[in-house]
Structure 1
Amino acid sequence: MAGFKTRLWLFIGLTCLTTAPFWALGIATGDSAGGKGAYAVGSMWGPGIAALLTCRITGQSVSSLGWAWGRSRWQVLSYLWPLAICCVTYGLVYAVGLGGFPNHETVVALRKTLDWPSAGTWTIVCGWFVLLATTGFVRGLAASLGEEIGWRGFLNPLLHEKLGFTRGALATGILWAVWHFPIMFFSNYDSATPWWFSTPCFVVEVLSLAVIMSWIRMRSGSLWTGAIAHASINLFNQAFFAPLTVSRGPITSYMIDESGVVLPLVLLVTAVFVWSKRRSLGETGPSAARAKAAFTD
């Protein structure tokens, strides 16, 4: 099997190559989620396809990427902790009056989309939440799995083995964040606030997510924890809380979603807590053995 640097640079190169067509479409049209979401799904599968190709080319076993489901408690946790993060984030925003809930314009649009013309506001809100949390989650998981085969399946264990937990998680997060930059700077992704504000917020968010998701990935041995958490935070933040938040003026955009400051700060606090538990991964035992096995198959 090829060495560390060969696998790393091949993965990075292939990720750029497989994502580039969808970046180009998003930049040319000005809509990173254009084609009714096809551009976004295509780009999200870029890292996954790159990981599979890298394994094929270098002789690394595809089974080493962490396909095993593992203990269900890790999967349940990966679904719930992003929801808890969103509840804390938006609860803080609402509590201090920087946003309100629910946004009646969004409710009107949802009433039309759902074709529930006689339903009351809270029926719409609760019904939409249930639909997102079930069937919406399945659809989101199909997209997030593409990224997570790459980031948590291939890259995270590779860097963890070489650099250890802290540097490996942060390096994964840096590459994950930079991968978003073309559509952030040249299309409309994360564009609710000026780039000089949204970019630091986004980078802090992604680095924090990388630490949390890396810890669970290495503890569980399963890339599904990353896919579930990725789908969950996208779902509850982008499809539920953010659009249902009432603006209290220009300040609201600077507080909510990925382009605002509160979500990254809540994630940062959570990441520091998780980082303090890094020694529980240990240098021996099942999680370390699984990480090592990924490079000896």
Structure 2
Amino acid sequence: MKEKKSVIAFLIITFMLSSIIYVIWIMGGEAATRSGISVLLMWCPAVATFIVCRKYYKKENLLGLNKCKLSFILTAIIVPMVYLGLSYGTYWLINKESFTGDLNIFSSVSSSYTNKLSHRSVVTVITLVIGIFTSIITATGEEIGWRGFLLPQLTKIWNVKVAVIVSGLIWALWHMPIMIAGLYLPGTPLWFKLPMFVIEVIAITVIMSVLRLKSKSVWPAILLHASHNYFDQAIFGTLTNSINKSYYVGETGIITVIVSILVAIITVMLFRKTMPDMSQSIYR
């Protein structure tokens, strides 16, 4: 069966390419993190997709880069703002001292340089805009693979429900090496952050998969992924200063996980009537 062979090939190539980046990143430590090596890692699924499609689907467009309704685009951008805003907002109410009110986007820039900036607000806006485009570029690399290629192929093998869960588990597993090495989402012990992260990833996968399958385009998944990363890391994360925040908010935070699950359930309920039968395979 071509679908099974292509999925296996995709996973092998993705994890082989990613393993090279894992080794370089882990050996380089924080210096490698600051070098932007994560961009290369996030494009491994896309590269694997290009290779597999060239071999198995030469005349078919399986990347999912199709146009879709504006409503899906807006939904994809807004949804992360909702579940992240609610979770961080709740945490700020519980722990008022954790809210800094300062985006602190200059933390990676030398103080001698920032002290010379006469128009800090202008630079802030420019930096935030650059952050948006960076998030979109990196998210595109992942989503071409995970939701552009893998998810639709899995729905040809299993029913939609199983395909979504399996794709979410694979996506979570892909993050594990750098999480275990302490280079991604530090701040909590492995026994806590690994299961919490898996649950959070599956919840987000459900939301992205519904938008991907309903719109028949990968763009909503790309923009939701980018919006999530941007608002979690560049906005809400930097507005929050607390030693224990990783236990409560963000991709390992229990408040964010609970809110994300609720939003995922609501998303499924809203689109249930127009979604493909969750017990059936699609894209045949």
- TM-score (ref. length: structure 1): 0.84
Quote the offset at 1:32 in angstroms: 8.8
Q: Report 1:133-282 matches (<5 A).
A: 134-247=129-242, 250-276=243-269, 277-282=271-276
* Cα deviation code 1:166-225 (max 9, x no counterpart): 111111100000011111112411111111111111101100011000000001111111
Quote the offset at 1:158 in angstroms: 1.0
Partners of 2:200 and 2:252 within 8 A in 1? no
Q: 1:107 to 1:18 in 2, by over 3 A?
A: closer
Return the letter of the residue paired with 2:239: L
Return the letter of the residue paired with 1:89: S
Partners of 1:41 and 1:143 within 8 A in 2? yes
| Cα distance between partner residues in 2 of 1:93 and 1:132 | 26
Partners of 1:98 and 1:252 within 8 A in 2? no
Aligned match of 2:78? 80
Identity, % of aligned pairs?
A: 28
SS at match of 2:33: coil
Quote the offset at 1:97 in angstroms: 1.7
Quote the offset at 1:3 in angstroms: 1.6
Quote the offset at 1:26 in angstroms: 1.3
Q: 1:175 to 1:54 in 2, by over 3 A?
A: same
| Cα distance between partner residues in 1 of 2:97 and 2:127 | 22
* Cα deviation code 1:85-134 (max 9, x no counterpart): 21111111011126532255937748957668567xxx85x984x55663
- Structure number with greater CO (CA < 8 Å, separation at least 6) is 2
Partners of 1:145 and 1:227 within 8 A in 2? yes
Aligned match of 2:56? 58
SS at match of 1:30: helix
SS at match of 1:173: helix
- Asked if 1:8 is matched to 2:3, the reply is no
Partners of 1:149 and 1:223 within 8 A in 2? yes
Return the letter of the residue paired with 1:175: I
Q: 1:127 to 1:117 in 2, by over 3 A?
A: closer
Report the aligned-residue RMSD: 2.8
* 71-80 or 253-262, larger mean C-alpha shift: 253-262
| Cα distance between partner residues in 2 of 1:43 and 1:70 | 27
Return the letter of the residue paired with 2:208: M
SS at match of 1:244: coil
| Cα distance between partner residues in 1 of 2:53 and 2:8 | 13
Return the letter of the residue paired with 2:26: I
Give 1:45's match in structure 2, choosing from 20, 43, 51. Answer: 43
Give 1:93's match in structure 2, choosing from 87, 91, 94. Answer: 91
- Unmatched segments (≥5 aa) in structure 2: none
- Unmatched segments (≥5 aa) in structure 1: none
SS at match of 2:30: coil
* Cα deviation code 1:39-83 (max 9, x no counterpart): 100000001111111111113545222111211221121111111
